A and B are shown apart, each in its own frame.
Chain A
Amino acid sequence: MKRLQLQRWSSTVLSPRARTSNRLHQHLCSSSLRHQSTVAAVQESTPELKYRLNNAHKRSANLQYPSPPVNAALDSAKLASLHARLYLPSRLPLQTLARTLVDASADSNVDFNNESLATLGHDLLTYYTSEHLLCTYPRLPLSVVFAAMYAYVGPKTLAAMSKEWGVDLATLPGGEVDPGYLQFKRVPPGTVLDAETEQNGKRKNWRKTVTSKVVYDDEFGDPIKGSSNSSVGVPAELARATSVRALMGAIYLHAGRPAAKLFFEQHFLSRSLNISQLFNFSQPARDLTRLCARENFEKPVAKIISETGRLSRHPVFVVGIFSGQDKLGEGAGASLLEARERAALAALKGWYLYSPLNVRVPSSMEEEGASPWNPAHVDLGEVIS
Chain B
Amino acid sequence: MATSLIVPKRPFLTLPFLLPSWSDSLSLGTRRYQSSYRRTKQRLRVKPDASFGSSQQVGDHIIHNPPSSAPSVYHTPNKFLPSNDARKAMRTQASAGYNATELPNVHKVEAERKYHLNPSDIEEIRKLRLADPMMWSRHKLAKRFECSPLFIAMVCEASAEKKQIQKQVLEAVQSRWGPKRRMAREDRQLRRAAWGRDE
Contacts and interface: CB of A to CB of B under 8 A. Distances in A.
Are A and B close enough to touch in the complex, i.e. CB under 8 Å? yes
Interface of A: 276-277, 279-282, 284, 297, 301-305, 319-320, 322-333, 336, 338-342, 345-347, 349-351, 353-357, 377, 379
Nearest to A342: B195
Interface residues of B, number: 28
A341 B196 CA distance: 8
B101 interface: yes
Contacts of B26: none
Contact of A327 (B73, B100, B197): B100
Contacts of A305: 98, 103
B104 A282 contact: no
Interface in B70-84: 70-71, 73-82
25 contacts: A279-B197, A279-B198, A301-B105, A303-B103, A303-B104, A303-B106, A322-B100, A323-B79, A328-B77, A328-B80, A330-B71, A339-B106, A340-B106, A341-B195, A342-B198, A346-B71, A346-B73, A347-B77, A350-B80, A351-B76, A353-B73, A353-B74, A354-B82, A357-B86, A379-B82
B100 A304 contact: no
Nearest to A292: B79
Contacts of B80: 328, 350-351, 354
B87 interface: yes
A300 to B, nearest CB: 10
Contact of B70 (A297, A326, A330, A350): A330
Given A302-B105, A346-B73, A354-B80, 16 more contacts: A276-B74, A276-B198, A277-B198, A280-B197, A302-B107, A304-B104, A305-B103, A320-B103, A322-B100, A326-B78, A327-B77, A328-B77, A341-B196, A354-B82, A357-B87, A379-B82
B106 A302 contact: yes
Nearest to B103: A303
Contacts of A346: 71, 73, 198
A236 B81 CA distance: 45
Contacts of B100: 303, 320, 322, 324-327
Nearest to B107: A302
A144 to B, nearest CB: 12
A357 B87 CA distance: 9
Given A322-B100, A325-B100, A345-B196, A350 B82 contact: no
Interface in B36-94: 70-71, 73-82, 85-87
B103 A304 contact: yes
A276 B71 CA distance: 13
A356 B98 CA distance: 29
A350 B196 contact: no
A319 B101 CA distance: 14
A66 to B, nearest CB: 47
Contacts of B170: none
A342 B75 CA distance: 16
A358 B82 CA distance: 15
Given A325-B100, A345-B196, A350 B105 contact: no
A115 B84 CA distance: 46
A284 B73 CA distance: 14
A319 B106 contact: yes
A379 B74 CA distance: 18
Contacts of A280: 196-197
A226 B11 CA distance: 90
B5 interface: no
B117 interface: no
Contacts of B87: 357
B83 to A, nearest CB: 10
A282 B103 contact: no
A101 to B, nearest CB: 38
B77 to A, nearest CB: 5
A281 B198 CA distance: 9
A332 B198 CA distance: 11
A379 B85 CA distance: 13
Nearest to A318: B70
Given A281-B196, A301-B105, A357-B87, A327 B96 contact: yes
